[in-house]
Amino acid sequence: MKTMRQIALLLGVALLAAACSSVGLDYKRPDITDVPSGWKTDSDWQPATPADASPKKEWWKAFGDKQLDELEANCLKDNLSLKVAVVRLDQALAQSNAHGAATMPTVALNASATRSQTSANRPLGNYSVPNSSTVQNDFKPNVSVSYEVDWLGRVRRDVESARASAEQAAADNENVRLILTAQVASAYFQLRQLDEEISFVSGSVASQEKVLELTKVRHEYGVSAENDVVFQSALVKSSKVQLQLLINQRKQTEDLLATLTGVPAPNFNLSSGTLPSKTPVIPLGVPAKLLERRPDIASAERAMAVANAQIGVAKAAYFPSLSLTPTFGGYESNGLSNLFSAPSLVWSVGVQATQTLFDGGRNRAGVNFAQAGYVAALALYRQSVLVAIQEAQDALSNLQGLEVARKQQDEAVRNQNRAYELTLLRYKEGVDNALTLATVQQNQLSALRVQSQLRGGQFLSAVSLLKALGGGWQEAN
């Protein structure tokens, strides 16, 4: 009974010590006081914010393009960079579980069996009795327990750090997902823009070739000079060069989409198409919402939690470490027949304390290192917030500017189309020469390409804005 009371007393002391507050400061997310209250927008550009238009996790579906939806699904399923991010998350979770196991005792089943012979010529223990050689057995099974008493919270801080690291890995995984899906959407809209430009240039080449044939006929009848044929022929060749360059650029963009979706480039093919009719409505919210929606900001914030916990781990090294090392249910005997009998029972219980007396400043250096790590993590967190606000503001400003430019370009295209119709009629009537017609044709083609580039730019900016706003990711509570 006395022994049991002693064991209970030791366990009680261990539990009481473990209940002590952890060394170091508890983590508190820092306040960001310099986040602006709103975005810098044009007074006549105020996006609507309907609830059903709020970006979800599959934010790309806001564009309403089934081909894009399929590409994004393939990217999430087969992209190798994303698979690596998922594996790293699995590793972080496993590491967190491993650190968490330190809060529990380690129980081990030990067993040993030896047969030994002592020397008859060993030093005498009693000079009146001579030594003799002895052969004997020793069987010793037992259950041992090892437990570090977390009286200063070192283990708890270590577990806290590991869990924050796992949460950081989860945020990093979401950030990789966001970046990759944004790359797919950007490449897809760039490809569709190139499809439209290719269509415009192909149509222009066909029209220019018809004019070239007409010019050759007029030259044969003496109505047009040879220079007219040369001008128009040069224009056709120039347009064909533009067409070939666009085809090459489209092929490279198609190959990029292949890699992003986990398909070898030679095995990937995407038929021609057009850009959607309009960009989706994007609810902006306020800049402070980026702290909740951006996974990279969440990752930086979790890095601070990791660094803060490591300060506690480093400070705990100043104090003694306590370990309980009891042995329960052990037996020792020189024969198997009486191994598990009452006289063979053995047990032990004890506490081990270790205190470093001199380490040459190692512990202090460890604390300084951990504190510097937290300062760096705080700076990176604030920097990530600033970058997020900048990216969102840049994408928003670009989207607004492109909307104004596109409207102006639409009017320019209408005027160029009308100018081409009038100039072609005047050319057929002999009022304008081939050089004038070629100039108008080139201007018309340039206007159409710029119009397509502006529309493509709008979709790329919409993707950038959705990405800058964090897509549809929400930080886990």
Q: Which positions ≥6 away from 136 have C-beta within 8 Å?
A: 115, 116, 118, 334
Q: Which positions ≥6 away from 5 have C-beta within 8 Å?
A: none
Whether the pLDDT of residue 241 is over 90: the answer is yes
Which run of H or E residues covers position 145?
strand 134-149
Predicted local distance difference test score (pLDDT) of residue 18: 47
Which of 60-74, 82-96, 186-200 has the weakest average pLDDT? 82-96
Give CATH for domain 106-122+132-149+326-354: 2.20.200.10
* Cα(93)–Cα(87) distance, integer angstroms: 10
Whether the pLDDT of residue 54 is over 70: the answer is no
- In tens, the pLDDT along 291-329 reads 878 899 989 999 999 999 999 888 888 888 877 777 666
Residue 111 has φ and ψ, to the nearest 5°, of -150, 135
- Res. 188 pLDDT band, cuts 50 70 90: very high
Q: Which residue has the higher pLDDT, 48 or 136?
A: 136
- In tens, the pLDDT along 25-35 reads 888 888 777 78
Q: Which one, of 468, 475, 458, lies nearest residue 285 by Cα? A: 468
User: What mean pLDDT comes out for the span 162-184?
Assistant: 91
- Res. 75 pLDDT band, cuts 50 70 90: very high
Strands (E), 80-199: 106-118, 134-149
Q: Which residue has the higher pLDDT, 371 or 10?
A: 371
What distances in angstroms separate CA 4 from CA 11, 322, 349, one per listed residue?
11, 21, 10
Whether the pLDDT of residue 81 is over 70: the answer is yes
Predicted local distance difference test score (pLDDT) of residue 48: 47
Please state which of the four CATH numbers 3.40.50.300, 2.40.40.20, 1.10.3720.10, 1.20.1600.10 is assigned to the domain occupying 22-104+151-319+361-468: 1.20.1600.10
Whether the pLDDT of residue 236 is over 80: the answer is yes
User: Is there a shared CATH topology between the 22-104+151-319+361-468 domain and the 106-122+132-149+326-354 domain?
Assistant: no
pTM of the model: 0.80
Q: Which residue has the higher pLDDT, 203 or 437?
A: 203
Predicted local distance difference test score (pLDDT) of residue 51: 43
Predicted local distance difference test score (pLDDT) of residue 329: 64
User: What mean pLDDT comes out for the span 38-67?
Assistant: 69
Q: Which positions ≥6 away from 16 have C-beta within 8 Å?
A: none
* Cα(296)–Cα(303) distance, integer angstroms: 11
Domain range annotation of the chain = 22-104+151-319+361-468, 106-122+132-149+326-354
